[in-house]
Chains A and B, each alone.
Chain A
Amino acid sequence: MKNVIITFVLNGKKMTMEILPNISLLDLLRDHLGLTGAKKGCETGECGACTVLMNGKAVNSCIVLAPQINGKEIQTIEGVGTESSLHPLQRAFVEKGAVQCGFCTPGMLMSLKALYDEKAKAGREEIKRAISGNLCRCTGYQQIIEAADTAFKARSEK
C-alpha cells in the first residue's frame, strides 16, 4: 500500500502530510492530529457527531477518506472559537441551554457554522434543516434551534 501526500488547510493553517490512504478523515483528525473535537459515533454517516467543514460545507468526516481532502480547506470545532473568544454560535449555545451531554455539540456547531458562513439570514426552518443530519438524543433540538436563531438575529441587528 503506497503512501499518499496530502496538502490541505486545517483551521486556517497550511498542512502537508504523508499518510497511508486507508484512513478516514475522522481518524486522521483524532489519532494523528490530536483533534478530538469531532466525535466518533456511528461511523456510517448517520449521526453527524463527526461533522467537520470541507471547503465550507458540512460533511461526515467518518466517511470521507483522508486522501480526499487533498487541496481542500478543513475546519473543525477547534478552529471555531476558544473559551476566551467564543464564536457567536458557541456563546448562544451556552446561554440558551443548548448543551446537555455535549456529545453532539461539536457536530451541531459545525453544521450551523456552515449555514452561518453561507447565509446572512436564516429562519428557523432553514436552521432545522441544517442540523437535520445531526442526531441528538438529549435536547429535542429546540434549544439548539433557539440558540442558532438568536445568533443569526444578533448579527442581523448589528
Chain B
Amino acid sequence: MRTVGKSVDRRGALEAVTGKTLYSDDIKMENVAHLKVVRSTRPHALIKKIDTSIAEHIPGVIRIFTSKDIRGTNRYGIINKDQEVLVERKARYVGDPIALVAAESESAAAQAADAVTVEYEDIPPVLTVEEAKNSDTEPVHEKGNLLFTRDIIKGDIDKGFDEANIIIEDTYTTPMIAHGYVETEAGIGFLDEKGTIVIKVSTQNPHYDQRDVAAALDLNTDQIRIIQAPTGAAFGGKLDISVQGFIALAAQHLKRPVKLRYTLEETMLSACKRHAMVIHYKTGAKKDGKITAVDVKFTLDTGAYASYGLAVISRAAVHALGPYDVQNVNIHGEVYYTNNIWAGAMRGFGVPQVSFAHEGQMDSLAKALDIDPFEIRMINALKAGSTTVTGQVLNASVGITETLQKVKTAKENRENKLKSNDKKLSPWIKQGWGLASFWYGIGNTGMSNPSTARVEADKEGQLTLFTGAAEIGQGSDTVLTQIAAEALQIPYKRLNLVRADTGLTTNAGATSASRQTYISGNAVKLAAEDLIQKFTEEASRKLDVPSEEIIYEKGEFKGRGKSIDIKSLAGQLYKKGQIPIGEGFFDPFITMLDKKTGHGIPYATYTFGTYYVEVEVDTGTGEVSVKYVIAAVDVGKAINPSNVAGQIIGGVAMGIGYALMEEFNPGKTQSFTDYLYPTSMDVPPVEVIIVEDPEPSGPYGAKGVGEPALIPTAPAIISAINQALNIKIIDLPAKLERVMKTVLRSSVSGGI
C-alpha cells in the first residue's frame, strides 16, 4: 500500500509549528462584541429575580440576555434534552448559566457580569448519590433523581458462584476528573451576507451543534452554520453545547460579530467532568483460574445534567466484565442526578472506571490462586469465536491474547537487558510491576451512528475529500485523507480536505467513541470507490469499452489498449454540466441492547490491549514514580503508525494522572494550580507495541485507538503499586496520602 500503514506527516503540523494555526480565540474580526456568562453561585435554587439594572449602565455594555430572550425551546442535550441555554426556573449546580452579557470589551463584560445580582430561593441540594437516592425534597429534574438503569444478564449467576472454588469481592471507587485540555471552550460568531449565523468554534461535533442550537433558539438549520475551528484537544469535553448557544443567541439579536472564550476557571467550574463511580464487584473462579461468575453493581453520579450519562452507563455495563469469556454474569448499573457539576463524555466513557475494578479483581484472583497474572488473563481471554457478555459472537480481530503474549515477551527481554546493570535502590524504595488488559467497543453503544462523506473532483481533476469528521488532535484529518488517498490510488498530499463545516460537509457523527477511523474511514473509502465507479462509467463512454473491462490504476482508467486520466474525465463531465462526486455512507452493524437482559450487538468491533508498568514507591513519603511502560494495543491496522504511537503514549500520560494525582472536587478545584496532571518529568519511557489483528469490516482492517490508549494505564499502575507494597488499593487516585496510609497499614515498613 502506498499511504496506509505509513507514518506520513500530519495534516496541520506545519501550521502548528510555525504558529499559524488559528484557534477560535486567535480569530480577529472587526466590531466584535465580547460575551461573558453570569453563573449560579448556588447548587440548587429557584431564580426569583435577576437584577441587571446596575450592570446595564456600565460603560461599554451592549445588552444583557436572560432566558426571556430565547425564542426556541431553550433546551439542548446530547441525549436527554434536559439542559437550558440560560436557566429559566432554577439553577441545578454552581455554575449553571443564568444570564449573558454582551459588551464592547472583555473587561466591561466581566465587570457587568459581576454587577448582575440574582435573588435565589434555595432548594435542599443533593451532593452524593446516596443523598440523591434517598432524598424526599424537590428532585434535580422532574422525573426524579434516578436517570437510568442498565442491566446485563447472562447465564445463571447463582450456579456460577456455586461452581466457584474462590470468591473475590471488593468495592472500588473512582473520582470525578477533568479533561485538562489547554485550549478552553471558545468561539466566534457573525452573520454572513445571507443573514446566516456563522459560528467558528472549538468542537467535536459541528453537525450536532447546528441541530441543537437551532432548536434551542428557534432557527432553521439552514439559518445557522457551524464551522469547526482548529481545536486544541477535547477528550470528550467539547461534545456538549458550550459557547455555541451563547454566541448564537447574541449574534441572533445583536446582528454583529460576537466572541466568547471560557477562562480556565470557568471551564473547571462549568464544563462537564468524568463520572465518579462506585463499583461493587464479586468474582467467582475455579482453582484452575477459570472465572465462573461475575456480579457487578455500580452507580454513577451524572451531576446536574444527563449529558452522556445514558451512554456511559451502558458502555460501562457492557465492558464491566473485561475482555474475558465468562458464562454467568449479572451487571446492574444506576446513574443518578445530583447537584454537583454535571458529568459527561470523557475519554473511555466509563471504561477507565470499570477496568480499574475488573483488573483489580484479576490481580486478586491471580494472587489468591497463585497463578501468574499473564496466565490468568490468557485463561479467561476472549478469542475469535467467543460469545461476549451481551451474547455477541466475535468473529475476528480479537487480539487480546496476542497483546498479552507480546507484552510478556517484551517484559522478559527487558528483564534480561536489565540484569547486567543492577541499580542499588535505597531501602525505603519498593519496586513493583503490574499488568492490565482491556477491551473497548468502537462506535456508539448499541445505536446507529453512521458517517457520510464525499469526494469531489474539480474541472482540473483536483480531488477534495469532504467529511464532517472533527479533528481534535487525534489525527482524523490525516488518517481519513490517507484512507481516501489509498482508495483513490493518488499520493496523500494530492488530496485536498474540507472538513467539519455544516455549510460544506455532511454529517459524519461525533468525534467520540473512538469511531472516526472505523466509521468515517469506511465512509471515505466508500466515497472514493464510488467516485472511481462514476469515472469508470464515463471512461467507458469515452473509450467505448464496456465498464467491466476498465481497470483503474493510479489516476488512469485503462481498457483495450486505451486510457484516459481523471483530469480529462473531470473536464468532460464538467462540460456536460455534471460535477463528479463520489458518496459514501457507513453505519456499523449493531443491534440495540435489550432493556432487561442487555443482550445485543452493541459494537461491530472491539479494540483490545494489555499494558505493563513498573513503579517505584518511596515508602517514606508515599511518592510513586512510574519507571517504564510497555503498551500493546490491537488496533486492527495502524493506518498511520506514528499517529497510533502518539495516541498510546498520550493515553499512558493521561492514565498516570488518573492513577496518581487527579481528583476534581466540586467547589474546591479551581484551576491548574490545584488540578494537577502529568508533566514531561512524570512520564517514563513507553515501549509501544502495535498489534494488528485485522478487522474485516474496517477500512484496510482498522479499528480505533483514541480511548483504548488510556484505559489500562491506571489499572496497571495500581497493580504495580499493589505488588510493591503487598497491599490492594481500591480507590483512585493513589495519591500521597492514600499510599502512605497503605504503607503504614501494610507489612512494608518505611524504615531505613
Q: Are A142 and B686 in contact (CB under 8 A)?
A: yes
Interface residues of A (CB under 8 A from B): 30, 34-44, 46-47, 49, 76-78, 80-83, 86, 90, 93-97, 99-106, 109, 128-129, 131-145
B180's nearest neighbour on chain A, judged by CB, is A137
A144–B683 Cα distance when bound, in Å, is 12
**B680: which of A44, A83, A131 is its contact (CB, 8 Å)?**
A131
Since A99-B12, A103-B233, A137-B179 are in contact, a sample of 17 more A-B pairs with Cβ atoms closer than 8 Å, ordered by chain A residue number, is A40-B25, A43-B263, A80-B18, A90-B18, A94-B14, A97-B645, A101-B181, A102-B16, A103-B181, A103-B183, A128-B680, A132-B679, A132-B680, A135-B677, A136-B653, A137-B180, A144-B680
B652's nearest neighbour on chain A, judged by CB, is A140
- Residues of chain B with a CB closer than 8 A to A109's CB: 17
8 Å CB contacts to A: which residues of B634-673?
Answer: 642-643, 645-646, 648-654, 671-673
Q: Are A137 and B13 in contact (CB under 8 A)?
A: no
9 contacts between A and B (CB under 8 A): A36-B25, A42-B264, A97-B7, A100-B650, A101-B181, A101-B183, A128-B681, A137-B182, A137-B650
A142's nearest neighbour on chain B, judged by CB, is B649
A46–B643 Cα distance when bound, in Å, is 27
Interface size counted on chain B using CB atoms at 8 A: 57
Q: Are B653 and A141 in contact (CB under 8 A)?
A: yes
A-B contact count (CB 8 A): 177
Q: Are B672 and A135 in contact (CB under 8 A)?
A: yes
Task: State whether A141 and B680 are in contact (beta carbons under 8 Å apart), knowing that A46-B671, A102-B232, A135-B672 are contacts in the complex.
Answer: yes
- Residues of chain B with a CB closer than 8 A to A129's CB: 680-681
Determine how close the nearest CB of chain B comes to the CB of A106; give it in whole angstroms: 5
- Residues of chain A with a CB closer than 8 A to B22's CB: 36
Interface 0/1 of B378-391, CB less than 8 Å to A = 00000000000000
- Residues of chain B with a CB closer than 8 A to A78's CB: 18-19
Q: Are B673 and A134 in contact (CB under 8 A)?
A: no
B474 an interface residue at 8 Å Cβ cutoff? yes
**A142: which of B15, B181, B673, B683 is its contact (CB, 8 Å)?**
B683
- Residues of chain A with a CB closer than 8 A to B642's CB: 96-97, 143
A100–B472 Cα distance when bound, in Å, is 8
- Residues of chain A with a CB closer than 8 A to B649's CB: 139-143
- Residues of chain B with a CB closer than 8 A to A135's CB: 180, 182, 672, 677, 679
B648's nearest neighbour on chain A, judged by CB, is A140
- Residues of chain B with a CB closer than 8 A to A34's CB: 28
A78–B179 Cα distance when bound, in Å, is 29
Q: Are A94 and B181 in contact (CB under 8 A)?
A: no
Q: Are B646 and A100 in contact (CB under 8 A)?
A: yes
- Residues of chain A with a CB closer than 8 A to B263's CB: 43
Q: Are B18 and A93 in contact (CB under 8 A)?
A: no
A36–B179 Cα distance when bound, in Å, is 24
Q: Are B653 and A41 in contact (CB under 8 A)?
A: no
B16's nearest neighbour on chain A, judged by CB, is A102
**A46: which of B28, B653, B673 is its contact (CB, 8 Å)?**
B673
User: Among the interface residues B9, B18, B643, which one has the most CB atoms of the partner chain A within 10 A?
Assistant: B18
Task: State whether A83 and B233 are in contact (beta carbons under 8 Å apart), knowing that A42-B264, A137-B182 are contacts in the complex.
Answer: no
Q: Are A140 and B653 in contact (CB under 8 A)?
A: yes
Task: State whether A101 and B473 are in contact (beta carbons under 8 Å apart), knowing that A93-B13, A94-B10, A138-B650 are contacts in the complex.
Answer: yes
B685 an interface residue at 8 Å Cβ cutoff? yes
A133–B682 Cα distance when bound, in Å, is 12
- Residues of chain B with a CB closer than 8 A to A76's CB: 19
Q: Which 8 A-B pairs have the closest CB atoms?
A: A37-B19, A101-B473, A103-B232, A102-B16, A140-B649, A77-B19, A140-B653, A36-B26
